[in-house]
Amino acid sequence: MTDVLKFKGFIGSVHFSAEDKTFFGKIEGINDLVTFEADAVDKLVEEFQQAVSDYLDICKEQGKDPVKSAKGSFNVRTKPAIHNLALRLSTLGGYRSLNQYVSAAIEEKNNRELAG
């Protein structure tokens, strides 16, 4: 997703309704649904930042973590050929399991994205 806003470590999705002539979005990666909208981009940025600040205040008042927790496991669906190649490369690379190989690949990709 490239149409995003960032503020205080949070990401907001951005969409446009041609019918309503309105920009709208939601804060991603949280356990709650927090939305924002505006009829101009500059105003949308302000609304997103206010939504994040308000959400953080509410979480602090309620004593809850504002960030959605991840349990550390998820299913990945891919083409059989990609799956087969990953199995082979994990063995050739000396990984103990496909999970270890995929985890290392995700970590490497994450590090490149953060550095770039």
Is pLDDT of 31 > 80? Answer: yes
> 8 with 44, same domain?
yes
Do 85 and 55 lie in one domain? The reply is no
Same domain for 90 and 53, yes or no, is no
| pLDDT tens-digit map of 44-71 | 999 999 999 999 999 999 999 999 988 8
Residue 101 lies in a domain: yes
Question: How many domains is the chain partitioned into structurally?
Answer: 2
- Give the domain range for residue 102: 80-115
User: Are 11 and 48 part of one and the same domain?
Assistant: yes
8 A C-beta contact, residue 8 and residue 24: no
Predicted TM-score of the model (pTM): 0.75
Query: Kind of pairing, strands 15-17 and 22-28?
Result: antiparallel
d(CA 112, CA 109): 5
My answer on whether 55 and 85 are in the same domain is: no
1 pLDDT higher than 60 = no
**What pLDDT is recorded for position 78?**
95
